[in-house]
Structure 1
Amino acid sequence: MKKSPTVTSAGFLILFSLGSFGSQAFAQSSVTLFGVIDEGINYASNVGGKSSWQTASGDLAISRWGLKGNEDLGGGLHAIFDLESGFALDNGAAAYGGRLFGYQSYVGLQSDSYGTLTFGRQFDSVADTVGLLTANGNWAGFLFSHPLDNDNTDATYHASNAVKYTSPTWAGLSATALYGFSNQAGAFANNRIFSAGLNYTWQTLTLAAVYADLGAPGANATGAIASDDIGFAARNQKTWGVGANYGIGEATLGLVYTRANVMDPQSSIYVGALGLGEHSSLKFDNVEVNARYNVAPAVIVGAMYTYTHAALDQDTGRASLHWNQLGAMAQYLFSKRTSVYGQVIYQAVSGGNTRTALDGAYVPGSAGVSSNSHQVVARIAMNHTF
């Protein structure tokens, strides 16, 4: 799950330098320790036919700690690294399948003139571009995700074994591309990922476009999208997306469209086995509108609406599913580092006659799938950064 490597979901990440290393020749080198702690109580109206109360960590921003390093090599060139470890505050367990640095872990070179090249476990281009224009990928967090996070705008999957290039910004335009290796001898394309995206900013307008192609995600444990780190286990998944944000005074308005084509989907990390059989496909179209408003320096409110249509093709026939989802949020900042917030999300699904887990409403991050076509999730929580 989640988020941008440079922007937390309304976490207001504050970095504190621990000092420099080495001799006087490396005076510009530093390592920074930082982190986010996000914890609250969630209520779900229907989970398997019963209401649910639970503590939940990391719904606004992933609870994590990390280390960032920067060594000035001269001539506008820097050696950089980032190691971030996600965890569940409820019980202290490591997130992302127990990975020590599952949120991200990379090393690379950053050039003021030529851009940044990094190697390791990283966010894909969807999360780096269009994802930042959605409510869930920017200021609202996990519960506001599109159904099953089908387009990865909330970064359900991360790209391991990945090489990423991010360009400098030219007249407001920047580009990024990523390739994640399968690491499988004799099967170069088995469980690999390629993605590329563009960002453009002019005054208060931000535009983005992205494309991602996943070959057999979840096919093995060592590939780009490991079997315990997937959105869907499938033969192939392709995602397109465009989006825009526009600021008007204290308000920011957003509009995003994404499409995800999932070929031969076997399972979802959220609802388990889909039981769709061979030669099936799921094609999701998502349209989101969102708005965020700074009522006062310490008070932020926001809302979003998402409509999702999924076309399911099987050997046994076709089905059409429709999701309508509404979300609202209010946040109060005690300081730049500490806040409290409340969220409520309503989801309704129709056309659910597939006899699979897709028929029941499910808000990603809730305690489980509803026994009917509706689900309400409410959360009250605290967020602290250091």
Structure 2
Amino acid sequence: MRKIVLGGVVAVTAVTVHAQSSVTLYGIVDVGLSYVNSAQTGKVGQHLNGASQIALTDAHATGLSGSRWGLRGQENLGGDLNAIFVLENGFMVNSGALAQGGAEFGRQAYVGLSSTSAGSVIAGRQYDPVVFSLQQFSAPYWAGYMSAHIGDIDNLANTNRINNSVKYVTPNFGGLQAGALYSLGGVAGNETQNQIWSLGVNYNGSALSLGAGYLNARNPNVSFYGNTPNKGLATVNNIGSSGSATTPQASPAFAGYASANTLEIMGVGASYVLSQTTISAVVTNTRFEGLGSASGPNPFGYSGNAIFTNAELGVRTMITPTLLAGVAFDYTERNSVKSDGGAKYMQLDFAVDYNLSKRTDLYALAVMQRATGRDSLSQPAVATISGFSPSATDKQLGLRIGIRHKF
């Protein structure tokens, strides 16, 4: 009899725990055919070689949503308090390889506590408050990663996550919400080296939405750009590269600024909904400050600050309940560094997305970009659409058709 009673208690307890806890498996698979009219293949001396390219690629660089799978869990700890966690892995559906530089849970990995009345505190690898506050106003929100601002200079397309971080997000007060993050550098004897801190606030109303965000990263070549398994230490350029005779350049618009002591990203955004149409605008300022520090290599001998100002205006509309179309114009300007005259980039983004069901959609994307001036690699500026190899010239066209399934 005692064994029967004990077994019943265990069974009831198990049911209760199950009722108070949940773990959800979720994911996205997004693959498509991408075309770019000019992609660098290498350089001979100062001459850049390039050619057109057609490839079947995962969406992590050019599509709507990088392929991923994840686990999301919650346990009720009594009353309004819950323990929460997320483990999210990015992968390349065309090859099966890990994304995010080979990190197993490179998209997100955190655990924390959450309450509807007090907000949430989470610790691990996660998005910063600038993304939380401003991404919804930028083209990558609806037109994919290839619509990001030159190499995702302001991180509104989530290229870089924050390691070793603690974040607090307030409750939602009638559409108003704020967040604060601090990432510990973990360097013995120097508490500020490699540290990152960020703040963000947004308001989402029935028609009008507003947002503002700020991020400050010390030694960004290591702390911000070097936080995945395939990245190196301060002696290596973790932002990009100058290329070689057989390899393309990477992030030429700002790869030359790896020696910056501090990275600052700040911005404001707004959107307004008119029936089925949303008009959005976002302005960001990205600053590589204190060039010439020991944070990274400085082959061009830069000093001072490199400052990128970016402005975007976008319009998207639901033509039918299942068909979205949108267009955005983006303008980026950089100041003169070492008397190089600066650089300018103009970009047009187009997107069409058709929902076959609530989980599956087909889409087509197009991005056109033109560059003028001189870029960070001390060369005539080349176009550099996010997700593609930079152009061998000052112009570039990127196209993609894809299919996305959510589960």
The CA distance in 2 between the partners of 1:325 and 1:334, in whole Å, is: 30
The CA distance in 1 between the partners of 2:223 and 2:334, in whole Å, is: 27
Aligned partner of 1:125 in structure 2 is: 129
Q: Classify the secondary structure of the residue corresponding to 1:218.
A: helix
Query: Residue deviations 1:100-156, cap 9 Å, x none?
Result: 1000000000011110000000001111111221111x1112100001211111121
Report whether the alignment pairs 1:284 with 2:308.
yes
Q: What displacement does 1:353 show?
A: 6.8
Q: Classify the secondary structure of the residue corresponding to 1:126.
A: helix
Question: Percent of aligned positions with the same letter in both sequences?
Answer: 35
Q: What displacement does 1:220 show?
A: 6.5
Q: Which moved more, 1:45-54 or 1:220-229?
A: 220-229
Partner residue of 1:102 out of 95, 103, 106: 106
Aligned partner of 1:18 in structure 2 is: none
The CA distance in 2 between the partners of 1:312 and 1:228, in whole Å, is: 29
Report whether the alignment pairs 1:147 with 2:150.
yes
Q: Classify the secondary structure of the residue corresponding to 1:171.
A: coil
Q: Classify the secondary structure of the residue corresponding to 1:185.
A: coil
AA of the residue aligned to 1:124: D
AA of the residue aligned to 2:334: A
* Structure 2 unaligned residues grouped into runs of 5+: 1-12, 41-49, 233-237, 240-254
The CA distance in 1 between the partners of 2:151 and 2:72, in whole Å, is: 31
- Identify the structure with the greater helix proportion: 2
Aligned partner of 2:401 in structure 1 is: 380
AA of the residue aligned to 1:135: A
TM-score scaled by structure 1? 0.87
Matches within 5 A, 1:266-345: 275-314=299-338, 317-345=339-367
Moved over 4 A (4+): 220-227, 229-232, 272-275
| Contact residue 89 and residue 105 of structure 2 kept, 8 A | yes
Aligned partner of 1:14 in structure 2 is: none
Aligned partner of 1:10 in structure 2 is: none
Q: What displacement does 1:250 show?
A: 0.6
* Structure 1 unaligned residues grouped into runs of 5+: 1-20, 267-271
AA of the residue aligned to 1:346: M
AA of the residue aligned to 1:240: M
Aligned partner of 2:266 in structure 1 is: 240
Matches within 5 A, 1:349-364: 349-352=371-374, 356=378, 359-364=381-386
AA of the residue aligned to 1:239: I
Aligned partner of 1:16 in structure 2 is: none
Q: Classify the secondary structure of the residue corresponding to 1:168.
A: coil
The CA distance in 2 between the partners of 1:224 and 1:179, in whole Å, is: 15
AA of the residue aligned to 2:221: G
Aligned partner of 1:369 in structure 2 is: 390
Q: What displacement does 1:37 show?
A: 0.7
Report whether the alignment pairs 1:55 with 2:76.
no
Q: Which moved more, 1:191-200 or 1:350-359?
A: 350-359
Aligned partner of 2:72 in structure 1 is: 68
TM-score scaled by structure 2? 0.83
Partner residue of 2:277 out of 231, 241, 251: 251
| Contact residue 165 and residue 183 of structure 2 kept, 8 A | yes
The CA distance in 1 between the partners of 2:64 and 2:17, in whole Å, is: 41
1:45 and 1:25, CA in 2 relative to 1: closer, same or farther beyond 3 A? Answer: closer
AA of the residue aligned to 1:95: A
Kindly report the root-mean-square deviation, in angstroms, between the aligned alpha carbons of the 2 structures: 2.3
Q: Classify the secondary structure of the residue corresponding to 1:154.
A: coil
Structure having the higher Rg = 2
The CA distance in 2 between the partners of 1:291 and 1:222, in whole Å, is: 31
AA of the residue aligned to 1:71: E
